[in-house]
């Protein structure tokens, strides 16, 4: 513990300090410019990985392109191997990297939630497709539902550090795939006006539900000007094979003017090499290949390059998301996106723990911090996910958001200039009061230099005991119940809602109807 001279602060200084303290509203803003950098790869290694990925694309290629993609690629100079694999000559990939969109706006339905997609900013999103929900009351898992998705959207709507809402859970009670896709979008849009995203099971689902997306924007043109929904398309089945239906989804999204997040999920030791460098190479090849074919359809279309390199526990072959290897791969994937200058996405925060316990805390912190500080752009799965992505928890979401404020603060770095170096401040204080709490610099910096947690406990042991000895999960449960019982946003007006419900099989009760047991 720090030792102090225990100098007394003057009553005047203390009063000034207390006045300032009572005014504090500071929280972190999202989209922090990245100053603190975490680099697992040297610049030389980044280039070696890139060149090996180009080798894979040129020599091995990607199997099973759809007919539309194959034609576009052949028109741009790609070739077909004897085995029917699409080969990408190196110069063509380099050309498409040049042509790719480097910065674009991700729109919210409310412009207050617009933000910039670019590398070297720290942006957090939800993500995932969990099928289990950690029930708040029972603290046990049960299948996730459409109501859970709506509740998660409402909670995410209130979180300061999460910029967009990708559906974290699947509405497992809906069997019809079109009904699932349409209700997924509806539940997201009912709960938040932040940018939303989901995957679609078929390409024509994008086209078929476009009138709903447009209605939520108040018109076709409004949606095309401010597309507030991204299509996640896992366009690759590793190793090195296109996923036809997802490729159709990506194409339909391009036609609809929606940003596309092209995803690949090579899993080290299972669907990709056990060598981390090899998984990274394969993931770069797979995601670059997808990025190339989208840009061949429409040069400069907003594409997020999601090279979600995953880890296997090689004792079982099962996916594991919480270890140091995952932290390394996430950061390295981010470094590769930063090298390409294309906004990149990585998954992080994919704890293997089943509950929001200490393991969940440290696994999320290690993996999310690594990914966020590598300069890639977007960190998905950054709040709420548990059980190696099979489970989701509202309480975890609330705790994780608090952690993200710390990661934003770390990303922002330490400002070094003549004023902050503080030589004269120290000299003044040594010769004067001997204590800095009442110094004018302290009062000036209370909001800008420091983040005050929303959820984390900073009480003394005695005060903590006297206020119920609550742990992080207890406090998050209280906050979750408060949000769920109070935050019923009215983001879809009744005329629009009637139109949508008349044309689409919406299963969510009308907004405003109490849906949660809380």
| Site of tokens 């294309």 | 342
Closest distance between a second copy and the C-beta of residue 388, in Å? 8
Handedness of CA 153, 157, 158, 162 (dihedral sign): positive
Nearer to a second copy, 240 or 251 (CB): 240
The H or E element spanning position 225 is: helix 220-225
Closest distance between a second copy and the C-beta of residue 137, in Å? 16
Closest distance between a second copy and the C-beta of residue 277, in Å? 4
Nearer to a second copy, 67 or 431 (CB): 431
Nearer to a second copy, 218 or 465 (CB): 465
Handedness of CA 75, 80, 86, 87 (dihedral sign): negative
CA distance 298 to 254: 7
Among candidate residues 181, 203, 178, the one with its CA nearest the CA of residue 66: 203
Closest distance between a second copy and the C-beta of residue 372, in Å? 11
Two tokens at 416? 């070094």
Closest distance between a second copy and the C-beta of residue 218, in Å? 35
DSSP labels, 46-112: HHHHHHHHHHIIIII-BB---HHHHHHHHHTT-EE-TTSPEE--HHHHHHHHHHS---EEEPPSSGG
Nearer to a second copy, 193 or 387 (CB): 387
Nearer to a second copy, 278 or 489 (CB): 278
Closest distance between a second copy and the C-beta of residue 183, in Å? 21
Nearer to a second copy, 77 or 453 (CB): 453
Nearer to a second copy, 63 or 74 (CB): 63
Q: Tell me if residue 32 falls in helix, strand or coil.
A: strand
Q: At what angle do helices 146-158 and 394-412 cross, to 10 degrees?
A: 30
Closest distance between a second copy and the C-beta of residue 72, in Å? 23
Nearer to a second copy, 44 or 112 (CB): 44
Closest distance between a second copy and the C-beta of residue 499, in Å? 35
Closest distance between a second copy and the C-beta of residue 73, in Å? 18
Nearer to a second copy, 223 or 310 (CB): 310
Closest distance between a second copy and the C-beta of residue 514, in Å? 29
In whole angstroms, what separates CA 45 from the centre of its chain?
A: 26
Q: At what angle do helices 394-412 and 472-486 cross, to 10 degrees?
A: 110
Buried b vs exposed e over 433-471: b needs ≥16 C-beta within 10 Å?
Answer: bebbebbebbbeebeeeebeebbeeeeeeeeeeeeeeee
CA distance 391 to 488: 24
Closest distance between a second copy and the C-beta of residue 20, in Å? 8
Handedness of CA 31, 94, 285, 107 (dihedral sign): positive
Q: What's phi and psi for 188, nearest 5 deg? A: -65, -50
Beta bridge partners of 274: none
The H or E element spanning position 250 is: helix 244-256
> Is residue 258 a contact partner of residue 230, using CB atoms and an 8 Å limit?
yes
Nearer to a second copy, 163 or 374 (CB): 374
Nearer to a second copy, 420 or 482 (CB): 420
Nearer to a second copy, 53 or 156 (CB): 53
Buried b vs exposed e over 122-132: b needs ≥16 C-beta within 10 Å?
Answer: bbbbbbbbbbb
Two tokens at 338? 């930063």
Structure-derived torsion over alpha carbons of residues 240, 55, 41, 329, reported in degrees to the nearest 10: 10
Longest dimension (CA), the chain: 84
Closest distance between a second copy and the C-beta of residue 157, in Å? 22
């Amino acid at each position: 513990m720090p030792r102090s001279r225990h100098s007394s602060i003057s009553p005047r200084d203390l009063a000034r300090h207390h006045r300032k303290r009572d005014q504090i509203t500071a929280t972190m803003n999202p989209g922090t410019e990245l100053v603190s950098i975490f680099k697992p790869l040297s610049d030389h290694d980044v280039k070696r990985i890139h060149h090996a990925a180009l080798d894979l694309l040129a020599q091995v290629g990607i199997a099973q392109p759809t007919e539309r993609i194959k034609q576009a690629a052949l028109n741009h100079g790609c070739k077909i191997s004897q085995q029917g694999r699409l080969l990408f000559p190196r110069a063509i990939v380099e050309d498409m990297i040049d042509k790719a969109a480097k910065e674009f706006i991700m729109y919210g339905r409310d412009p207050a939630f617009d933000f910039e997609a670019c590398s070297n900013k720290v942006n957090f999103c939800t993500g995932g497709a969990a099928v289990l929900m950690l029930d708040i009351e029972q603290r046990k898992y049960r299948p996730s539902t459409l109501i859970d998705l709506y509740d998660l959207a409402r909670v995410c709507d209130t979180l300061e550090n999460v910029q967009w809402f990708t559906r974290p859970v699947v509405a497992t009670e809906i069997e019809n795939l079109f009904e699932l896709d349409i209700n997924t979008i509806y539940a997201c849009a009912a709960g938040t006006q932040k940018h939303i995203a989901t995957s679609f099971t078929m390409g024509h689902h994008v086209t078929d539900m476009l009138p709903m997306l447009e209605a939520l924007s108040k018109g076709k043109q409004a949606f095309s000007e401010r597309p507030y929904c991204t299509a996640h398309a896992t366009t690759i089945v590793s190793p090195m094979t296109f996923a036809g239906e997802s490729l159709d989804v990506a194409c339909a999204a391009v036609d609809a003017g929606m940003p596309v997040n092209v995803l690949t999920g090579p899993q080290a030791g299972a669907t990709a090499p056990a060598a981390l460098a090899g998984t990274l190479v394969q993931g770069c090849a797979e995601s670059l290949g997808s990025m190339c074919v989208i840009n061949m359809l429409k040069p400069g279309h907003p594409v997020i390059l999601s090279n979600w390199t995953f880890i296997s526990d090689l004792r079982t072959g099962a996916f594991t998301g919480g270890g140091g290897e995952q932290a390394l791969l996430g950061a390295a994937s981010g470094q590769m996106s930063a090298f390409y200058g294309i906004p990149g996405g990585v998954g992080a925060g994919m704890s293997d723990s089943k509950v929001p316990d200490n393991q969940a805390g440290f696994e999320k912190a290690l993996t999310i911090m690594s990914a966020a500080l590598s300069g890639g752009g977007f960190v998905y799965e950054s709040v709420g996910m548990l059980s190696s992505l099979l489970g989701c928890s509202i309480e975890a979401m609330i705790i994780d958001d608090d952690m993200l404020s710390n990661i934003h603060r770390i990303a922002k770095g330490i400002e070094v200039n003549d004023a902050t170096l503080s030589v004269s401040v120290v000299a003044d204080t040594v010769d004067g009061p001997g204590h800095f709490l009442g110094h004018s610099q302290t009062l000036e910096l209370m909001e800008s230099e420091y983040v005050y947690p929303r959820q984390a406990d900073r009480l003394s042991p005695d005060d903590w005991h006297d206020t119920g000895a609550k742990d992080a999960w207890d406090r998050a449960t209280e906050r979750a119940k408060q949000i769920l019982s109070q935050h019923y946003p009215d983001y879809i007006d009744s005329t629009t809602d009637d139109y949508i419900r008349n044309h689409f099989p919406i299963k969510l009760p009308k907004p405003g109807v109490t849906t949660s047991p809380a």
